[in-house]
Chains A and B, each alone.
Chain A
Amino acid sequence: MKALAARRHHRNAPVVVTLLALLTTGGLYAALAPSTAHAAEPTANDIAAGGKLFQANCSTCHGPAAGGTASGPSLVGVGAAAVDFQVSTGRMPMAASGPQVIAKPPTFDAKQTAELAAYVASLGAGPAVPTAEQVDPSKGDQATGMALFRTNCAMCHNAVGAGGALSQGKFAPPLANATPTVIYEAMLTGPQSMPVFNNDNITPQEKRDVIAYLVAQRSNATSVNDLGAFGPVSEGLWAWVLGIGTLIGCAVWIGAKSS
């Protein structure tokens, strides 16, 4: 230490200290920075396997090079997140055309979905599938998530994410069974009628807050049966049919002669 202390006034000392500081910061950043990429980088094999799956299952509508046809849009640049959303929820491959592509049991398993996503991502840069940490509800703030959800999402998806109607047979789906990853991908890519909520609009941290709010709604039911949480329509129907029906039944019984 004595030798170091003696050299601290050396004219090269500031340069050496700056270099050391830069190295430490850079090294620490490289070690600790959150990785935005998928846990396992897709290999060339994944992309090749995905390409085969694509040719067999998707190219009829999206074109042999995913450039789009009259029946399906181009997938160049939509990114792995869009593929993971559409395929893992069973929306793609589509079973029948209609006002809206609906979710159904997925056709492909997780590995095949990842291969398809890797293939489409290799065609052009697009949003990646979020990491488990990015969608971890325990790391989000429910209160902030509620404020964001109320402003950006609640008018279509209902205040607690129960879903709602749009025009001409389209609808905003309920979010009670959507996985955190799927919710994140939907915000990022804006599937079908849904607008895009990119990271400049709702930041990754805020997206996690929204997920935290939605997941909290699942264990937070305030009634035994919330009748879909749609509010006055379904609750009013039950009150009129059951409540008033019971009252009319009582009135008829009181007025009828005993047998």
Chain B
Amino acid sequence: MSAHDSSTHDGSKDVVVHTSDTLPERFSNPGHPEHHLRRSDQDPRANKRAELQVVVLFLISVIGTIGFLVAYFTVTPAGTPSSIRNSNLLLGLGLFFGLMGIGLAAVHWAKSLMNDHEKSEERHELRSPEPVRAQAVEVIQEGVADSAIGRRGILKGAMVSALALFPLSIAVPLIGNIGGNWNVSTLKHTMWKKGTRLTIDPTGRPVKASDLTIGSVFHIIPDGLDKTADPMEEKAKAIVLLIRLDPRDLKIAPDREGWSYDGIIAYSKICTHVGCPVALYEQQTHHLLCPCHQSTFDVADGAKVVFGPAKRPLPQLPITVDSEGYLVAQSDFHEPVGPSFWERLK
């Protein structure tokens, strides 16, 4: 109370009360607006015209249905995209006119030909009368007493177990369908290792350093991808974008000296935001865009984020050439690829 007492604020002035005599105590029910006769009520010709309009609408429906049946039997999908298109289009138009005609005709009939006198229905109270409520409570109590749930302990136990176990039939498949592999450490590694050749996606041809001209972009998968147990799973983690820049444009961080080869640089193609394939490369600006949310990475400067929702640079794959001149990986990525997960390092 002391806090309240020490307040200098006068609460009584917060609400301004108007005591005007111009406002009535209660508004009276204005009742229905005056009834206006429609044209079809006053003019027999308008009435006849409305009737004709309804008939025409029903006729449109009849024509639509007949058109649907004709299209069903004459325009059959024959395996080419255009025949499927024509069949879908004609069936859809037939259905549209068939149903729309009936709907419009029914509403138009009700609005223009049936009487439109206003009617009132009083609302009744939602709460049931007292005796009905008392009777309902009595019925429940009688049922509880009759089942003797208080005395028959084993029955109560059986019922509770059945009710408690049933939700498992929904929960277990839900959790089980998330995936069979709960080994989180697989998210930290890809199939790249020392000496794995860089090959072209999807043909699998190995790439020589001399194959890349300046401004070239190669979409890369690791050699031997198709021989792994689950190529799609491995590809989803291991895809790489190989780009050759003018070495003078390239800014190389001191801890990444020797990760690129003569201006050829390799970055993970998986966006660090939510994992879309980042592949829109602008040759002139060296910017790499993600098609999903427009995260933009600067390829010339360590694939750092220059725009968009991504938080981290794309992981870089250290590369070199082997004795035959083919590009190979020096090791796996030095950090997990793709979006963050709960046990991501760094």
Please pick, from A201, A258, A259, the residue contacting B200 in the complex, using a CB distance under 8 A: A201
Find out whether the CB atom of A195 lies under 8 angstroms from the CB atom of B289.
Answer: no
Find out whether the CB atom of A196 lies under 8 angstroms from the CB atom of B218.
Answer: no
Query: Would you call A198 an interface residue if the criterion is a C-beta within 8 Å of the partner chain's C-beta atoms?
Result: yes
Contact with B along A151-176 (1 / 0, CB 8 A): 11001100000001011001010000
**Interface hub of A166, A170, A224 (most chain B Cβ within 10 A):** A166
CB proximity of B48 to chain A, nearest CB, Å: 15
* B: interface residue count bin: 35 or more
Query: When chains A and B are docked, how far (Å) is the Cα of A258 from the Cα of B84?
Result: 42
Contact with A along B138-176 (1 / 0, CB 8 A): 000000000000000000000000000000000000000
Identify which of residues 54-81 in chain B touch chain A, using a CB-to-CB cut-off of 8 Å. 81
- For A193, what are the chain B residues with a Cβ–Cβ distance below 8 Å? 282-285
Query: Would you call B315 an interface residue if the criterion is a C-beta within 8 Å of the partner chain's C-beta atoms?
Result: no
Find out whether the CB atom of A221 lies under 8 angstroms from the CB atom of B81.
Answer: yes
Query: When chains A and B are docked, how far (Å) is the Cα of A221 from the Cα of B88?
Result: 13
CB proximity of A93 to chain B, nearest CB, Å: 19
Evaluate whether A151 and B219 lie within 8 angstroms (CB atoms) in the complex, with A167-B307, A190-B283, A192-B283 already known. Answer: yes
Please pick, from B116, B201, B283, the residue contacting A151 in the complex, using a CB distance under 8 A: B201
Query: Would you call A108 an interface residue if the criterion is a C-beta within 8 Å of the partner chain's C-beta atoms?
Result: no
Query: Would you call B40 an interface residue if the criterion is a C-beta within 8 Å of the partner chain's C-beta atoms?
Result: yes
Find out whether the CB atom of A253 lies under 8 angstroms from the CB atom of B84.
Answer: no
Query: Would you call B202 an interface residue if the criterion is a C-beta within 8 Å of the partner chain's C-beta atoms?
Result: yes
Find out whether the CB atom of A259 lies under 8 angstroms from the CB atom of B38.
Answer: yes
Query: Would you call A222 an interface residue if the criterion is a C-beta within 8 Å of the partner chain's C-beta atoms?
Result: yes
Find out whether the CB atom of A257 lies under 8 angstroms from the CB atom of B116.
Answer: yes
Query: Would you call B213 an interface residue if the criterion is a C-beta within 8 Å of the partner chain's C-beta atoms?
Result: yes
Query: When chains A and B are docked, how far (Å) is the Cα of A89 from the Cα of B277?
Result: 31
Find out whether the CB atom of A259 lies under 8 angstroms from the CB atom of B217.
Answer: no
Query: When chains A and B are docked, how far (Å) is the Cα of A156 from the Cα of B291?
Result: 8
Query: Would you call B287 an interface residue if the criterion is a C-beta within 8 Å of the partner chain's C-beta atoms?
Result: yes
Identify which of residues 228-267 in chain B touch chain A, using a CB-to-CB cut-off of 8 Å. 243
Query: When chains A and B are docked, how far (Å) is the Cα of A244 from the Cα of B332?
Result: 52
Query: When chains A and B are docked, how far (Å) is the Cα of A192 from the Cα of B40?
Result: 69
Query: Would you call A177 an interface residue if the criterion is a C-beta within 8 Å of the partner chain's C-beta atoms?
Result: no
- For B219, what are the chain A residues with a Cβ–Cβ distance below 8 Å? 151-152
Please pick, from A151, A156, A166, A200, the residue contacting B202 in the complex, using a CB distance under 8 A: A151
- For B215, what are the chain A residues with a Cβ–Cβ distance below 8 Å? 190, 195-196
Query: Would you call B211 an interface residue if the criterion is a C-beta within 8 Å of the partner chain's C-beta atoms?
Result: yes
Query: Would you call B128 an interface residue if the criterion is a C-beta within 8 Å of the partner chain's C-beta atoms?
Result: no
Find out whether the CB atom of A166 lies under 8 angstroms from the CB atom of B82.
Answer: no
CB proximity of B183 to chain A, nearest CB, Å: 29
Query: Would you call B97 an interface residue if the criterion is a C-beta within 8 Å of the partner chain's C-beta atoms?
Result: no
Query: When chains A and B are docked, how far (Å) is the Cα of A197 from the Cα of B211?
Result: 10
Contact with B along A79-93 (1 / 0, CB 8 A): 000000000000000
Please pick, from B85, B201, B211, the residue contacting A198 in the complex, using a CB distance under 8 A: B211
Query: Would you call B91 an interface residue if the criterion is a C-beta within 8 Å of the partner chain's C-beta atoms?
Result: no
Query: Would you call A148 an interface residue if the criterion is a C-beta within 8 Å of the partner chain's C-beta atoms?
Result: yes
CB proximity of A209 to chain B, nearest CB, Å: 11
Evaluate whether A166 and B277 lie within 8 angstroms (CB atoms) in the complex, with A147-B202, A196-B216 already known. Answer: no
Find out whether the CB atom of A198 lies under 8 angstroms from the CB atom of B81.
Answer: no
- For A166, what are the chain B residues with a Cβ–Cβ distance below 8 Å? 280, 282, 289
Find out whether the CB atom of B116 lies under 8 angstroms from the CB atom of A258.
Answer: yes
**Interface hub of B111, B280, B287 (most chain A Cβ within 10 A):** B280
Residue of A whose beta carbon sits closest to that of B85: A222
- For B216, what are the chain A residues with a Cβ–Cβ distance below 8 Å? 190, 195-198, 201
Query: Would you call A254 an interface residue if the criterion is a C-beta within 8 Å of the partner chain's C-beta atoms?
Result: yes
Evaluate whether A196 and B38 lie within 8 angstroms (CB atoms) in the complex, with A151-B201, A156-B280, A253-B107 already known. Answer: no
Further contacts, 8 of them, CB under 8 A, given A166-B280, A172-B280, A258-B112: A151-B219, A155-B291, A156-B279, A193-B285, A195-B216, A196-B283, A222-B82, A258-B111
The 10 closest A-B pairs by CB, nearest first: A200-B211, A195-B217, A258-B111, A193-B282, A155-B279, A196-B215, A222-B81, A196-B216, A258-B112, A195-B283
